[in-house]
Amino acid sequence: MKIAPLIRELSLVRSPAFDMLIFFVTGRCNSRCRHCFYWRNLGAIYEGLSLEAIETISRTMPVFSTLLLSGGEPTLRMDLPQIVEIFKRNNQIQSVSVPTNGLRFEAIATLARQISELDTGLLVTFNVSIDGFAEIHDHIRGVSGAYDLAMKTLHALRQVALEYDNFRILVNTVICAENYDQIIDFAEYIKSSGLVDGHFFEIVRGDPPEDGMKAVPSAQLKAIYQKLVPLQETYLVSMGRRRRRGLLRVWRRIADVGNLINRYQHQWGVYSQGAIWDFPCLAGEGIGVIDYNGQLRICELRDQYVDLSDYQYNFAQAWNSEVIRQECATARTHVCDCTHTCFIGLGARQNFHARFLKAPWLYLLYKMGKGW
C-alpha cells in the first residue's frame, strides 16, 4: 500500500492557502428561476469578461486546485474551453466544475467534450440543476419544458462520461418552499435512473426574487437532510472507489460522510435556528469570487468588492487590497454565517476539530443509527 497519499490526506497543511475560484463567466441566463440568488445581476447585455482580461487575471493568480464556473448560465459562453485552458495552463487547476440549467443539451454536451479532452488529468464535473419532477421544476425555473430538456442533457452527458474517464455528472437540487415535499422521492428517482455520479442539495440562499421561496419548515428540512445521508453515501462510496485504495479509501468514506452530516447540521442550524458555525469562514483566504463584470469579492453573499479593472486585472494586487483584507477579517467573526456549501466545506476541511474529531464522531453515530 502506498503511504504517501494517506500522509498527504491527513496532513493539516494539505493545500495552498488559495484553493478555489468561483468565477461568474457571464450575467446572461436563459432561465428565470424563482429561487435565484443572482437574479439582480442577470441581463442579456452582461456578456462577461474578455479572454484577454481573463488571461491577465489568471496569470496574476497563484496555483490553485478548483475552478467553479458559474453565471448566469455559463454554457451560454461557447469559449468556455478556452477559459478552462487558461486556468489549467497558468494555475495548474486539478478540477473544474460547471453548473448548468440544462436547457441546451447539444451545446452543453459539446462543451463537456471539449473541456474533457483538454487534459485527461483534469477532473471535469458538469452539475445539472434539477429541482424536482417536471411540473414543479418548470414552475420554479420559469421555463416550460425545462425538465424534459434537463433530462435530455443528462442523457447527452452520460454519453460523454462513457467517452472520458475524467468526466462526471452531478445533479444539483435547490431545496425551497415549492419542492421540499418531493425532495426524497425525486432523489430516489434520480438515483434509480443510473444517469449520474452524484446528487447534491442546497437550501435556497441569499435574497431570491420571491420571498416565499425560503419558507421551508424547520422540522421537514431536518427530516429531509437525515433521509438524504444514506442516499448520498452510496454516491460518495462509489466516487471514492474510483479514485482511492486501501486505508485512504476507508478514511475518505468516514470523512466524506461525516463531513456531509456536519454540513447538513450547520445548514439546518443556520437556516432554521439562527445558529453560527463552529469554525471560522475562510472566504477571502481559501476561496475568492469574481463576478461577470470583474468585481472581486470574498463570497457571493457579501456586498463589498473591488473592481479588477481598477487594478488592470491584476488579481494579486486586488486580492491584497484593504477592502478584501477587511472583508476576510469580518468573515471570520461569524457576523454573516450562511448556508453556502463551498464555504462550510472549506472551513470544516481546514479546521482540526471539525475534520479529525467531529466528522468521524458523526459518522460513528450515524452508523449506530443515532439521529441528530
Residues that bind ligand SF4 (CB under 6 A): 29, 31-33, 36, 38-39, 71-73, 101, 281, 283, 298-299, 301-302, 331, 336-338, 340, 343
**Cβ of residue 281: shortest distance to ligand SF4, in angstroms?**
3
**Secondary structure (DSSP) of 225-263:** HHHHHHHHHHHHHHHHHHH--HHHHHHHHHHHHHHHHHH
Reported as type and span, the H/E element at residue 139 is helix 134-141
**Cβ of residue 179: shortest distance to ligand SF4, in angstroms?**
14
Q: Between residues 207 and 307, which has the closer beta carbon with respect to ligand SF4?
A: 207
Cell of 15: 493545500
Burial 321-358 (b: 16+ CB within 10 A, else e): eeebeebbebbeeeeebbbbbbbbbbbbbbbeebbeeb
d(C-alpha 223, C-alpha 124), whole Å: 32
**Cβ of residue 32: shortest distance to ligand SF4, in angstroms?**
6
Q: Strand 20-24 vs strand 123-129: parallel, antiparallel, or unpaired?
A: unpaired
d(C-alpha 39, C-alpha 206), whole Å: 10
Cell of 126: 458538469
**Cβ of residue 142: shortest distance to ligand SF4, in angstroms?**
8
Q: Between residues 41 and 91, which has the closer beta carbon with respect to ligand SF4?
A: 41
Q: Between residues 56 and 100, which has the closer beta carbon with respect to ligand SF4?
A: 100
**Cβ of residue 291: shortest distance to ligand SF4, in angstroms?**
12
**Cβ of residue 107: shortest distance to ligand SF4, in angstroms?**
15
Q: Between residues 130 and 248, which has the closer beta carbon with respect to ligand SF4?
A: 130
β-pair partners for 170? 127, 198
Q: Between residues 93 and 174, which has the closer beta carbon with respect to ligand SF4?
A: 174
Q: Between residues 71 and 132, which has the closer beta carbon with respect to ligand SF4?
A: 71
d(C-alpha 116, C-alpha 315), whole Å: 27
d(C-alpha 364, C-alpha 141), whole Å: 39
**Cβ of residue 329: shortest distance to ligand SF4, in angstroms?**
11
Q: Between residues 152 and 302, which has the closer beta carbon with respect to ligand SF4?
A: 302
